[in-house]
Structure 1
Amino acid sequence: MDETCLHAAAPGPGAVKVRVLAGAEARDAVPALAGVLLDCVEGGASVSFMAPFDRGTAEGFWREVAAGVERGERILLVAEDGEGVLGTVQLVVQQPPNQPHRADLSKMLVHSRARRRGIGKALMDAAEDAARAAGKTLLVLDTASPDAERLYTRAGWIKVGVIPGYALWPGGGFCDTTFFYKALPSP
């Protein structure tokens, strides 16, 4: 997939563009992506990490993601404005042999300075377009965020159910996780 703009949010001055990062560009974005992840974890998001959480750990995570992008296992999308990366989402396209039609939507993150501006919706739309372009017809995700649940429901995702105590909040304590799926039209 090329690196062209896929979707835009908040048109006008300070416009936000969503695009796919590939290869070296994914590696170059590690510090900016780490900043978004740090902001989300520090804000209490249950996205696989526990407090205390530091920049080195965040950058290590994104270096692994960039390596997965280079191997063709993941598609990495970012939302950017004139100040840099505001949000990100991934598609895990490498699946078992009996699931070539499926991808996992993972790590939908929007920096706190950029929320409520349509960035999550633009990232979701771009991720769905990227999944279709990759030949995927089924997407799945999980979330512990009620705000994200509203976004996914409005975007046509189907809620499958909730697993109580599935994960932990960054500061400790169990959180419930909600699973969703979305069928995409065949290419």
Structure 2
Amino acid sequence: MTVIVRLGGSDVLARAEELADLLADTVDDGASVGFLAPLGRAEALAWWRQRAAAVDTGSLAVWAASAGGRVAGTVSLAFPDKANSRHRAELVKLMVHRNARGRGLGRRLLATAERAAAEVGITLLHLDTETGSPAESLYRSAGWTRAGEIPDYATTPAGALCPTTLFYKRVGVSAP
């Protein structure tokens, strides 16, 4: 059985090794999530440990899906700190371990973040994802709207420039 829970900063630190394994697996499998391959364990571990402070301040919310006692996926919401943007959040780092894919876990994590955003008054979510990636079809099928594409926005884990597709979704009270 897979359980999804919201992590506090101390939880991020306690599960940093598992989260680092997930991040390394995601990058190793070719997903463009902001890192170049090969992603070393120390770098992945340091990245997750640095997130704990943002979780504690409330500028980042992290959910982890555990299957068999191990982290199998995550999703996060990054909340802006500007007064004129408190109605929105960015969905970041939706990752599912390659051994757990194809079972609806990505969709469950996405729905969890959307629901949690609406519960705290967020009415607009946005994200970017590598154009042509499997994630694009997930977001489209989950009701996200494609806003456009930016060429040469990021690099693949192999270092090649790639375009990104921007998506948004209205949630909560102002959702159509």
> Same fold by TM-score, threshold 0.5 exceeded?
yes
Amino acid at match of 1:46: S
Q: CA RMSD in A?
A: 1.3
Q: Which amino acid aligns with 1:146?
A: S
Summarize deviations over 1:70-121 as a string: whole Å, max 9, x none. 1111110011111410000100023322101000000111111000010000
Q: Does the Cα contact within 8 Å between 2:119 and 2:172 map onto a contact in 1?
A: no
Partner of 1:19: 5
2:151 matched residue in structure 1? 164
Q: 2: CA distance between counterparts of 1:167 and 1:41?
A: 14
Which of 67, 76, 92 aligns to 1:106? It is 92
Aligned pairs for 1:48-67 (under 5 A) are 48-67=34-53
Aligned counterparts of 1:100 and 1:83: Cα–Cα separation in 2:
35
Aligned counterpart in structure 2 of residue 91 of structure 1, from 77, 97, 103? 77
Question: Are the equivalent residues in 2 in contact too, given 1:74–1:94 (CA < 8 A)?
Answer: no
Q: Determine the C-alpha separation between the residues in 1 that align with 2:37 and 2:102.
A: 25
What TM-score, normalized by structure 2, do the two folds share?
A: 0.94
Q: Which TM-score applies when normalising by structure 1?
A: 0.89
Aligned amino acid, residue 53 of structure 2: A
Q: Which runs of 4+ in 1 moved over 2 A?
A: none
Task: State the alpha-carbon separation in 1 of the partners of residues 142 and 103 from structure 2.
Answer: 15
Asked whether 1:149 is paired with 2:136, we answer yes
Could you tell me which amino acid in structure 1 is paired with residue 36 of structure 2?
M
Alpha carbons 2:118, 2:171 under 8 Å: kept? yes
- Structure 2 distance, partners of 1:146, 1:42, is 15
**Structure 2: tracts of 5 or more residues without a match:** none
Q: How many percent identity over aligned positions?
A: 43
Quick check: 1:95–1:103 contact (8 Å CA) kept in 2?
A: no
CA distance in 2 between counterparts of 1:134 and 1:43 reads 34
CA deviations on 1:122-150 (whole Å, 9 max, x unpaired) are 00010011111221110000001521111
